[in-house]
Amino acid sequence: MFLYSTHSPKTLVGLKEAVLRGLPQDNGLYMPQEIPVLPASFFEKLDEMSFQELAFEVSKCLLNGAIPEDDLREIIEASMTFDAPVVRVTDDIGMLELFHGPTLAFKDFGARFMARLMGYFVKDDKEDLYILVATSGDTGGAVASGFYKTPRIKVIVLYPSGKVSFLQEKQLTTLGENISALEIQGDFDACQALVKQAFLDEEVQNHLRLTSANSINIARLIPQMFYYFRAYQQLKAQHGKIVFCVPSGNLGNLTAGLIAKRMGLPIHHFIAATNLNDGVARYLQQGIFPEKATVPTISNAMDVSKPSNFVRMLDLYGGDWQAMKADISGFYYTDEETRQAIKRVEEEQTYLLDPHGAVGFLAMDAYLKTHPDVYGVVLGTAHPSKFLDVVEPVIGRAVEVPARLAELANREKDAKWMGTEFGEFKKHLLAL
Ligand SMILES: *Cc1c(COP(=O)(O)O)cnc(C)c1O
């Protein structure tokens, strides 16, 4: 498998370089040079495959020999340890529940696969690889959990003090081993600025082997294709035209779905659902991507005004808006509409949506009004118990927190307190 940068399509790198580097030097994003189509035999055998088997077949086809088959199988078996069921909400909408992993959000899929893949690439190296990750909450937890105890890899999580939830903080600060947390006296942007400065600092670069783990890494997109196949496998006997609705922020999830379709998965249509950070929805409707500042919403994992993976979407369609619009529709919703959807679906269908899934449900419901012949699958990106402060007042009762999240409450926090000056952070890194 070879990959090119969206900024210089002629320069190719191998999978190892793309994964360990994360971002190409020219600031584009890595894309697979070739997206192979799965053979008919794959679809003939699909019914008998376990989730791990189908993940193995899909990645084997895409990676095309970049990793020996036995090693790839091991990576899949170690990372894909929980399922992605489609659960009925209405007669024509199901939720693809992606929150059955350790941190209860779909980011577990990407983070766990990336961790195993990076671990595989550095396992015989003499030097440790340091992963710096700035988080506003969810990404850090998934990355920390994914890399926990990976030999040769150390993770440093920077999070904004007082701006992540109690349980999110516990997810970041209680693992120990190769995971350490820095509690920054600033906001998320300050955390991100520190990480960026570290990558630009020559002394730090000479002292530590650094990489990042954010959602632009191609290793996070690969496993996000697997669950589109898993959903199709569960639905294909009963439903013809399947439409996927993706609650979108940085557009990694949607991009993975588009690649799955290019690999031959018969997806009838996609929907990009956003909150008022609605750039991609407006682009799909009007052909222009509006320049706007990020606005805070209750579906905060989608509060992104300049989604990184949009470049990958443009690349897939050669910049052709009409062609993109033929495959993807865009919808956006306010917080008030989102709250009403949570309430209505809980009352009428006894299904509890999280705020991100609720945005997706609204968009799917709207699309079905003009396309009654399709079956809608909404990606359930997080468990509602991760957003108790939003969900409980809306439905007027307490929500049960799954044991694996609840038990974190009693663990002891271990984080190093740090200011927003780069000097202090640099000193910390140079002492490692
Ligand atoms: C990250 C996240 C999203 C957005 O996914 P993208 O791939 O960035 O578009 C949606 N919902 C939840 C709960 C998330 O954590």
Residue 302: CB within 6 Å of ligand 1? Answer: yes
- CATH number for 82-104+220-401 (one of 3.60.20.10, 3.40.50.1100, 3.40.50.300, 3.30.1310.10): it is 3.40.50.1100
The atom number, within ligand 1, closest to the CA of 304 reads 8
Q: What is the per-residue pLDDT across 408-420, written as a single tens digit (0 to 9) for each?
A: 989 999 999 999 9
Q: What is the 3-class SS of 113-138, one letter each residue?
A: HHHHHHHHHHCCCCCCEEEEEECCCH
Write out pLDDT tens, residues 363-382. Answer: 999 999 999 999 999 999 99
Is pTM beyond 0.85? Reply is yes
Q: Give strand ranges (E) for 314-374.
A: 328-332
Instruction: Quote the CA–CA distance of 223 and 226 in Å, as a whole number.
Output: 5
Distance 143 CA to ligand 1 centre (A): 14
| Cβ of 220 below 6 Å from ligand 1 | no
Q: What is the mean pLDDT of residues 213-233?
A: 93
pLDDT tens, residue by residue, 260-313 = 999 999 999 999 999 999 999 999 999 999 999 989 999 988 998 889 899 999
The predicted structure's pLDDT at residue 192: 86
> How many Å separate Cα 219 from the centre of its chain?
11
Q: Is 107 a catalytic residue?
A: yes
For residue 254, the CA-to-ligand 1 centroid distance in Å is 10
> Distance between CA 104 and CA 426 in Å, rounded?
33
Over residues 165-194, the pLDDT tens digits come to: 888 899 999 999 999 999 999 988 899 889
**CA–CA gap between residue 275 and residue 390 (Å, rounded):** 15
- Decide: 138 in ligand 1 pocket, CB within 6 A: yes
CA separation for the pair 295, 290 (Å, rounded): 13
One-letter identity of residue 135:
T
